[in-house]
Amino acid sequence: MNKAAAHFLEAVTKYKSIAIYIPGSPDPDAIASAYAIKQILKHLSIESDIFAEHKISLSQNHVFIDSLGIPLIFGRDIDLKKYQAYIVPDFQNNRVEHIGDSIPCVAHIDHHGKSNNSVKADFSLIRTDAGSTSTLVTLIIKHLDVDFTEQEMASITTALTFGIQTDTDKYNYMTPLDLEALGFLSEFTDAGILQEIINMPISPETLLYYNKAKGNEIVYRDWAFYGIGYVDAKNRDSIAISADMILKNSDQKTIAVFAIIENHKKGEMYLDVSLRTNSSSLDLNRLIKRITSDGGGRRYKGAYQVKLNYFLSAPDRDMLWNVVEATTLEALQRSRNTLYITGLESIYESVKDKIISFLKKDSE
Q: What's the pTM?
A: 0.78
8 inside domain: yes
The residues that bridge with 217 in the sheet, in sequence order, are: 226
Give yes or no: residues 158 and 232 share one domain.
no
Please give the C-alpha separations between residue 359 and each of 105, 345, 346, 351, in angstroms, as whole numbers. 55, 21, 20, 12
Shared-domain flag, residues 184 and 211: no
Give the gyration radius of the chain's Cα atoms: 22
Domain-ending residue, one of 150, 169, 198:
198
Does residue 355 lie in a domain region?
Answer: no
Q: Pairing between strand 223-232 and 217-220?
A: antiparallel
Contact call for residues 220 and 44 (beta carbons, < 8 A):
no
Q: Is the dihedral of CA 163, 35, 121, 289 positive or negative?
A: positive
Same domain membership, residue 210 and residue 150: no
Q: Specify the number of domains making up the chain.
A: 2
Number of other CB atoms surrounding residue 358 within 10 Å: 10
Same domain, 162 and 240: no
139 and 261 together in one domain: no
Tens of pLDDT along the chain (364 residues) come to 679 999 999 999 999 999 999 997 899 999 999 999 999 999 999 999 999 988 888 888 999 999 999 999 998 889 999 999 999 999 989 999 889 889 999 999 999 877 777 899 999 999 999 999 999 999 999 999 899 999 999 999 999 999 999 999 888 889 999 999 999 999 999 999 999 998 888 888 899 999 999 999 999 999 999 999 999 998 998 999 999 999 988 889 999 999 999 998 889 999 999 999 998 889 898 899 999 988 888 888 999 999 999 999 999 999 999 999 999 999 999 999 887 654 444 444 444 455 555 555 555 5
Give yes or no: residues 231 and 141 share one domain. Answer: no
With CA atoms as reference, report the closest residue to 91 among 107, 75, 111, 73: 111
**23 lies in the same domain as 6:** yes
- At 327, the amino acid letter reads T
Name the 3-class secondary structure at 159.
helix
Domain boundary among 153, 183, 198: 198
Residue 346 is predicted with a pLDDT of: 45
17 & 92 share domain: yes
Same domain (yes/no): 16, 121 = yes
CA distance 301 to 67: 27
Identify whether 219 is part of a domain: yes
Residue 325 lies inside a defined structural domain of this protein: yes
Please report the pLDDT score of residue 169 as a whole number. Answer: 85
The whole domain housing 97 covers: 2-198
> Does 187 map to a domain?
yes
Q: Are 142 and 157 in contact (CB under 8 A)?
A: no
pLDDT digits (tens, 9 = 90+) for 188-199: 999 999 999 988
Domain co-membership, 177 together with 279: no
Q: How far apart are CA 144 and CA 153, in angstroms?
A: 13
| CATH number of the domain within which 287 lies | 3.10.310.30
DSSP letter string over 257-305? EEEEEEETTTTEEEEEEEEEES-TT--HHHHHHHH-SSEEEETTEEEEE
363 domain-assigned: no
| pLDDT for position 345 | 41
Residues 281-318 have pLDDT tens digits of 898 988 999 999 888 888 889 999 999 999 999 999 99
Domain stops at, among 183, 198, 213: 198
For residues 88 and 134, state if they share a domain: yes
- The answer to the question of residue 357 being in a domain is no
Sheet with 73-74: strands ordered across: 73-74, 47-52, 17-22, 85-89, 105-110, 121-126
Quick one: pLDDT at residue 1? 60
CATH number of the domain that residue 64 is part of: 3.90.1640.10
Whether residue 24 sits in one domain with residue 161: yes
Beta-sheet pairing, 254-263 with 268-277: antiparallel
**pLDDT at residue number 250:** 87
Amino acid at 314: A
Residue 360 belongs to some domain of the structure:
no
CA angle 96, 276, 330 (to 5 degrees): 85
142 alpha carbon, distance to own chain's centre: 23
